[in-house]
Amino acid sequence: MQQKHVFDDAIALEPQRGDRFTGRTSAAYGNMVGPFGGMTAAQALNGVLVHPERLGEPIALTVNFAAALEDGAFDLVARPVRTNRSTQHWTIEMTQNAQTVLTASAVTAVRRATWSADELPPPPVPTRAADTPRAMRDGAIVEWVKRYEMRLLEGAFPPVWDGSESDSRTLLWLRDDPPRALDFASLAALADTFFPRIWRRRATMVPIGTVSLTTYFHASGNELAAVGDRHLLAQARAFAFRNGYFDQSAQLWSDAGALLASSHQIVYYKE
Amino acid sequence: MQQKHVFDDAIALEPQRGDRFTGRTSAAYGNMVGPFGGMTAAQALNGVLVHPERLGEPIALTVNFAAALEDGAFDLVARPVRTNRSTQHWTIEMTQNAQTVLTASAVTAVRRATWSADELPPPPVPTRAADTPRAMRDGAIVEWVKRYEMRLLEGAFPPVWDGSESDSRTLLWLRDDPPRALDFASLAALADTFFPRIWRRRATMVPIGTVSLTTYFHASGNELAAVGDRHLLAQARAFAFRNGYFDQSAQLWSDAGALLASSHQIVYYKE
């Protein structure tokens, strides 16, 4: 029997009455303080994924990080507020000690085959995943980074923190560690694995925290399953850093070049 | 005495008990069926803007269009679910006949002056607003389009609907008509004024509808006020069209080249 993947352990929810679930933060996905936000986003989405009334598959997910989570148990409500013929709208709230720590919304939909086209091709890739050195494996200062295989192609972590400015773009090969077949929950987490764009831009390690994160899913569950545990090509950059907040836009492609998700967030920074 | 701008009439809300408001769709911002989604987004944000407990100014807004609005009255709840030292998280719901037609979330924040930088410069502009012909004024088939001055620079409405494919990008000068000093509510609406990217991409007029819209505000209220009623430079493009849904990413710059907002949406399309 195959052992359960650490990611599946971490997103697991215990159904309660109605639209209610309980879960726990995972030490395996621990951040500097509290859990990795991508894991929290995956847990919130999982309330929709395991809900018995779910219609279709995720199209959009927005997660608002209202307060720092404490390590330990949380309560989750995932409620289908409107069910149409082919779409369903969800509101999600995570609480700890009866205080809101996260609000979220999701849209699920039954998709039909239509004319389709990718307009944003993957950028040229200098080396395949197998030929790209792995970054930050042993040097990781936070636990969650060890749960991901990151092979940086361009825009690496600044080699020295000397305040020298560059652009904020990063391109890398990315997957779970140990490898795990892709699905909506893991893709939601992968979309939040980029190190803060302001660190790249400024080579200065200022405190940051994601405030709101939106991910659009372009592929079906079957298409994600077909990617299996192969690496994704992932890119992120910022558009504007302004008075305490910067945005980030990210794209995640399959190794075959299909855009699987586009993701956007706004992030608090100090100084 | 100056007459009230049609936009201010349209977003007006009547405070009710607690976090509750009532409002009405506006014929001046009517779409093919029901109201222009950007107006609905502005009305939802206005529940936050006029709320007596608001802390700071909008940073992020996500609006989920759960069902087609009917012309007429609506109920709006804008609730501050978590207030921190410098940020506040809001959940918003719009109902008609006790049915959810829209869910939304917003983050407001007290911003402090920090190191700042714009990374995405405005694209090169061939002509200034005054020298750019106005599009779609008299030919507009829906009412709300007449409330905006659109001067298209690149990626115009397809001149013929012949199914010939192009990229989906559009660049234009944009402002309210009649001109109105910029603020958060009008910027939230302006971010949704782009004609559907799939029409541009395919030169085929398929039915569409925005499902979820997220806007990040990079500027303060004072900075928006300083823009006044001058044109914004606005750009939108899609990344992927896939099985019934495409995304759109948009940027809105001041005429001085400052990025005021970045906005993303996912849109349903038929066929």
pLDDT for residue A3: 82
Rounded to the nearest angstrom, the minimum Cα separation between B261 and chain A is 9
Q: Of B33 and A91, which is predicted with more confidence?
A: A91
Distance (Å, whole) CA A32 – CA A34 = 7
Rounded to the nearest angstrom, the minimum Cα separation between A171 and chain B is 17
Do B65 and B238 touch, CB atoms closer than 8 A?
no
- Contact residues for B47 (Cβ-Cβ < 8 A; gap 6+): B13, B21, B76, B77, B78, B92
Check CB contact under 8 Å for B100 and A120. no
Within 185-204 of B, beta carbons closer than 8 Å to A belong to 201-202
The tokens describing A244, both together, are 């305490």
- Taking residue A212's Cβ as centre, other Cβ atoms within 10 Å add up to 27
Check CB contact under 8 Å for B245 and A103. no
Check CB contact under 8 Å for B111 and A244. yes
Q: A183 — alpha (psi -120 to 50), left (phi > 0) or beta?
A: beta
* A199: phi then psi, degrees, rounded to nearest 5: -70, -40
pLDDT tens figures, B35-49: 999 999 999 999 999
Model confidence at B1: pLDDT above 60? no
| Residue B118 near chain A (CB below 8 Å) | yes
Q: What is the mean pLDDT of residues B256-262?
A: 97
Model confidence at B197: pLDDT above 70? yes
pLDDT for residue B136: 64
| Residue A131 near chain B (CB below 8 Å) | no
Check CB contact under 8 Å for A240 and B67. no
Determine the residue among A88, A90, A115 to mutate to test chain B binding: the one whose Cβ has the most chain B Cβ atoms within 10 Å.
A115
Q: Quick one: closest CA in A to B266, which residue?
A: A216
pLDDT tens figures, A38-66: 999 999 999 999 999 999 999 999 999 99
Closest CA to B233 of B260, B263, B255, B258: B255
| Residue B68 near chain A (CB below 8 Å) | no
Q: Give chain A's count of helices (H) and strands (E).
A: 5, 14
Chain A residues inside the 8 Å CB shell of B113: 243
pLDDT for residue A271: 86
pLDDT for residue A235: 98
| Residue B95 near chain A (CB below 8 Å) | no
pLDDT for residue B157: 86
Q: What is the mean pLDDT of residues A113-120?
A: 95
Within 236-255 of B, beta carbons closer than 8 Å to A belong to 237-245, 247, 249, 251
- Taking residue B248's Cβ as centre, other Cβ atoms within 10 Å add up to 24
- Beta strand ranges found along chain B (DSSP E): 14-15, 20-24, 57-65, 73-83, 87-96, 99-109, 117-118, 148-154, 170-176, 208-217, 232-237, 240-242, 245-253, 259-269
Within 200-239 of A, beta carbons closer than 8 Å to B belong to 201-202, 211-212, 214, 216, 218-220, 237-239
| Residue A83 near chain B (CB below 8 Å) | no
Distance (Å, whole) CA A38 – CA A190 = 7
Instruction: Name the pLDDT band for A141 (thresholds 50, 70, 90).
Output: confident
Does the interface predicted TM-score (ipTM) exceed 0.90?
Answer: yes
Distance (Å, whole) CA A68 – CA A100 = 10
pTM, entire model: 0.97
Beta-carbon contacts below 8 Å between A and B: 214
Closest CA to B265 of B257, B107, B251: B251
pLDDT for residue B67: 97
Q: Quick one: closest CA in B to A214, which residue?
A: B214
